[in-house]
Amino acid sequence: MANKKLKVSNVPNLRFPGFEGEWEVKKLKNIADKVNSGKTPLGGEAVYTKEGVLFIRSQNVNNDNLELENSTFIPESVNNQMKNSIVNPNDILLNITGASLGRSCVVPNDFKIGNVNQHVCIIRLNKQSNPRFIQPIFSSSKGQTIFNSLQTGSGREGLNFESIKGIKLSIPIPDEQYKIASFLSLIDERISTQNKIIEQLETLIQNFRNQIFKQKIRFKHELGNEFSQWKVYKLRDISDRVLCKNIENNQNVLTISAQLGLISQLDFFNKSVSAKNVSGYYLLKQNDFAYNKSYSKGYPMGAIKRLKKYDKGIVSTLYICFRFNGLINVHFMEQYFESGIQNIEIEKIAQEGARNHGLLNVGVSDFFNIEINLPSIEEQKRIASFLSKIDKKIQTEKAILEQFEKQKKYLLHEMFI
């Protein structure tokens, strides 16, 4: 692959050998045979079925992939009434409204039949244009900038067909399109494989957690002797609430991320979203825990996370913070909370309804009264060591995935104009 350091014409910075000449600027309408969206079937969700013709919605168009989990369907008779929005293999699907605006994917080659609703635009290219060359432009930073600039309406929440058709793209000859598309497809396949590796490991560790914390799997001493029976404790008996305020003016404001745990707002949001005066925040030390009562995906009763990335940090007083005593191995408790087994207890004390900002109505005293079934400290350590090995493998695979994604981002920047 040749690298052109000085871009003196309409050519990319990074190019495969054997290709020369400038890329041609064309409007999308000049390379597309079709640009339109679907519609809501007459009767709305009432006509949805569990089988029939796949009905694609914006949640199915996600990060370069057509994701068909939890799909919905429409009867063939309804599909026949919506022939203009029938989806074909190799169509580009583009979300044109809402929070997912700008997400896109290419329909797989082996796709059978489907239709789309009004939030998804079908872009069907002519035979001289490769959808697996064009769609990566859409998902690149350049494409996202284009979509942001084209949003219409007072809330700037939608794209219209005329603006989509008017998008200008720099395009090489079909052979070069194919070469680039094939290369990027290989990277996408590797990213997909890496995601599957991570999903399998996460399923594995969650299965082990479920069996271990329900005592379907028990560990033994190194000499083979059994550990003592597990005992039930109240959370208040094995931990102390952290109420220490930020009198040292610590500026490391933390937030709870379902995937990343307790993480600096600067790392997570690239900015601080805290109050200007943080002297009233709670000051946490490494290995302290915090409970965010706000439910999120995978954490229906809120997330409990351990501070492990930083020596100290501060959190909003909306969090319930606590520190375990000597009866507890913090690595064990981290795995315990990740299993979700505590949700049974929290659900008992969560009042109906929700407070502001979607926070679950969980009282502090009730929270510290939840029951936790614990093994001896020696068995806690054995369990923590076993599960931590799988956890470390997951983190290693996630780091590999991150490198692939960075590589793809770089290539999208350098291989397109």
| Closest among 256, 255, 257 to 265, alpha carbons compared | 255
pLDDT band, very low/low/confident/very high, at 362 (cuts 50, 70, 90):
very high
297 and 278 both lie in a single domain: yes
**pLDDT for res 213:** 96
CATH number for position 181 = 1.10.287.1120
**pLDDT for res 268:** 81
Is residue 351 predicted with pLDDT exceeding 80?
no
**pLDDT for res 404:** 96
Mean predicted confidence (pLDDT) in 143-171: 84
The dihedral through the CA atoms of 215, 221, 227, 230 has a sign that is negative
Is residue 355 predicted with pLDDT exceeding 90?
no
221 and 252 both lie in a single domain: no
pLDDT band, very low/low/confident/very high, at 352 (cuts 50, 70, 90):
low
Q: How many domains does the chain have?
A: 3
329 and 409 both lie in a single domain: no
Residue 234 bridge partners (DSSP)? 371
303 and 320 both lie in a single domain: yes
pLDDT in tens, 176-195: 999 999 999 999 999 999 99
What does pLDDT average to over the chain? 91
**pLDDT for res 174:** 96
Is residue 45 predicted with pLDDT exceeding 90?
no
**pLDDT for res 107:** 96
Is residue 274 predicted with pLDDT exceeding 90?
no
pLDDT band, very low/low/confident/very high, at 357 (cuts 50, 70, 90):
low
Mean predicted confidence (pLDDT) in 81-94: 94
pLDDT in tens, 113-138: 999 999 999 999 999 999 999 999 99
Q: Is residue 142 part of a domain?
A: yes
Q: Is residue 349 part of a domain?
A: yes
Distances (CA, A) of 296 to 1, 115, 137, 358: 44, 30, 31, 10
**pLDDT for res 271:** 66
56 and 103 both lie in a single domain: yes
Q: Is residue 333 part of a domain?
A: yes
Q: Picking from 34-43, 241-250, 315-324, 333-342, which range would have the lowest pLDDT averaged per residue? A: 34-43
271 and 156 both lie in a single domain: no
Mean predicted confidence (pLDDT) in 376-390: 97
290 and 395 both lie in a single domain: no
Is residue 298 predicted with pLDDT exceeding 60?
yes
Q: Picking from 80-84, 328-332, 389-393, which range would have the lowest pLDDT averaged per residue? A: 80-84
164 and 59 both lie in a single domain: yes
Q: Is residue 6 part of a domain?
A: no
Q: Is residue 53 part of a domain?
A: yes
Domain that holds residue 242: 231-373
141 and 34 both lie in a single domain: yes
CATH number for position 315 = 3.90.220.20
**pLDDT for res 353:** 52
Q: Is residue 4 part of a domain?
A: no
3-state secondary structure the chain: CEECCCCCCCCCCEECCCCCCCCEEEEHHHHEEEEEECCCCCCHHHHCECCCEEEECHHHEECCEECCCCCEEECHHHHHCCHHHEECCCCEEEECECCCCCCEEECCCCCCCEEECCCEEEEEECCCCCHHHHHHHHHCHHHHHHHHHHCECCCCCECCHHHHHCCEEEECCHHHHHHHHHHHHHHHHHHHHHHHHHHHHHHHHHHHHHHHHCCCCCCECCCCCECCCCEEEEHHHHEEECCCECCCCCCCEEEEECCCEEEEHHHHHCCCCCCCCCCCCEEEECCCEEEECECECCECCCEEEECCCCCEEEECCCCEEEEECCCCCHHHHHHHHHHCCCHHHHHHHCEEEECHHHEEECCHHHHCCCEEEECCHHHHHHHHHHHHHHHHHHHHHHHHHHHHHHHHHHHHHHHCC
Q: Is residue 2 part of a domain?
A: no
65 and 145 both lie in a single domain: yes
Q: Is residue 8 part of a domain?
A: no
238 and 334 both lie in a single domain: yes
Residues found in the chain: 417
245 and 328 both lie in a single domain: yes
